[in-house]
Structures are given as structure tokens and as C-alpha cells.
Amino acid sequence: MSTGYPPYGGGYGRGRGRGGGYGQGRGMGRGMGPGPFPQQVLEPIPPPPPGVLRVAASTDDGNGLNARISFRFARAPFLTIVDLKDGKAVDSRSIQNLLAAGARGVGVAVGQWLVSSGVRLVLAPHLGPNIMMVLSQAGVKVEMVPPGVTIEEALRRLRLVY
């Protein structure tokens, strides 16, 4: 049964698909998309000296050992790195997390940065699946701690600092 009208698109292969016809898709695929999202880069810090355990935590502020652990990990405003030796903190630094505002892939990027910086232990209340995969593949240990606790208190609870 014919209605006398050509099918959608006038019969010339211009259906009402994703892009309204004329071969226009969503702008992704075959190199026609907008490209990868630009992302800030965190410079890796030098690896710790031998016999030093490097610990990382995401924090709400940059107060070193007194910084409070953030509820979110990869998108926290600061990343605090603490070097421990013989039950004492020998170095502590808080770094502004430039990756936090990234559109996508933030967890993987932060995880790779932590691994390249020599971190062997991460303190966090919760980790997403992507950063957990990166850290576990690199052999980085993860300890779950409640948000709002200071890093020093979390290290004492885990008996890493006396």
C-alpha cells in the first residue's frame, strides 16, 4: 500500500536520524568530534627517599597534617602528601588539586599522578571504581577513613604515627 509520498527524507537517504540527515551525527567519531577535553596537569613530586612511606589524602584545605579529609577524593580542592619514617612525619605538603575541575577522567588522572609521585598508601572515605583500579594495579594500599578527620588523627588511628 503506497501513500504516494516518499519515505522520510524524501527518498534520498536523508532520514531523521541523530543529525537530521545529510550524514551528520553527534560530532563524535571519525575524527569529527571536538577532541579530548583540555585538562590541567599536576607536576609529579620527587620520589621519597629509601625507607620512607609516602601517604596521600584528599583534603578540604591546605593545612598539612591538620588538614581535614575531604568527602570526595579526586575532586577535592587539595591533595596532601605526607612522608613517614619510623613512626614520625618527616615531610608534609598540600598541593592544590588542579585536576578537580576536569570534565572527565579526573579519578584516573589523580591516580596516575599519585603513582608517579611514589605514593604507597592512600587515605580516603570513598574511592570511585576508576581510581581504585589504577591504584590497585600499581600496588598502592587504600585505607578507608571517615571524612572530616584530620590527617594526623587518621594516621594515629592506623598506628602509622606515634
Domain that residue 125 falls in? 53-157
Q: What is the mean pLDDT of residues 135-146?
A: 97
> Looking at the 3D structure of the chain, how many domains does it have?
1
What predicted TM-score, i.e. pTM, was given to this entire model? 0.73
DSSP 141: E
15, part of any domain: no
Closest CA to 10 of 2, 21, 18: 21
162, part of any domain: no
95, part of any domain: yes
147, part of any domain: yes
* CATH number, position 146: 3.30.420.130
24, part of any domain: no
Query: How far is 10 from 126, CA to CA, in rounded Å?
Result: 54
- For residue 31, the tally of other CB atoms under 10 A from its CB is 6
12, part of any domain: no
Closest CA to 68 of 153, 160, 162: 153
The per-residue DSSP string of 106-124 comes to: HHHHHHHHHHHTT--EEEE
By CB neighbour count within 10 A (0-12 exposed, 13-18 middle, 19+ buried), where does 103 fall?
exposed
Percent of the chain at pLDDT > 70 equals 75
- Is the four-CA dihedral 125, 116, 86, 63 of positive or negative sign? negative
pLDDT digits (tens, 9 = 90+) for 84-129: 999 999 999 999 999 888 888 899 999 999 999 999 999 999 999 9
Grid cell digits, residue 89: 612525619
pLDDT digits (tens, 9 = 90+) for 74-85: 999 999 999 999
Residue 19 has pLDDT above 90, yes or no: no
Average pLDDT, the chain: 85
8, part of any domain: no
Q: What is the mean pLDDT of residues 135-155?
A: 97
Q: What is the mean pLDDT of residues 51-68?
A: 96
120, part of any domain: yes
The pLDDT confidence band at residue 5, using thresholds 50, 70 and 90, is: low
Q: What is the mean pLDDT of residues 48-61?
A: 96
State the angle between helix axes of 129-137 and 106-116 in degrees (0 to 180), rounded to the nearest 10.
20
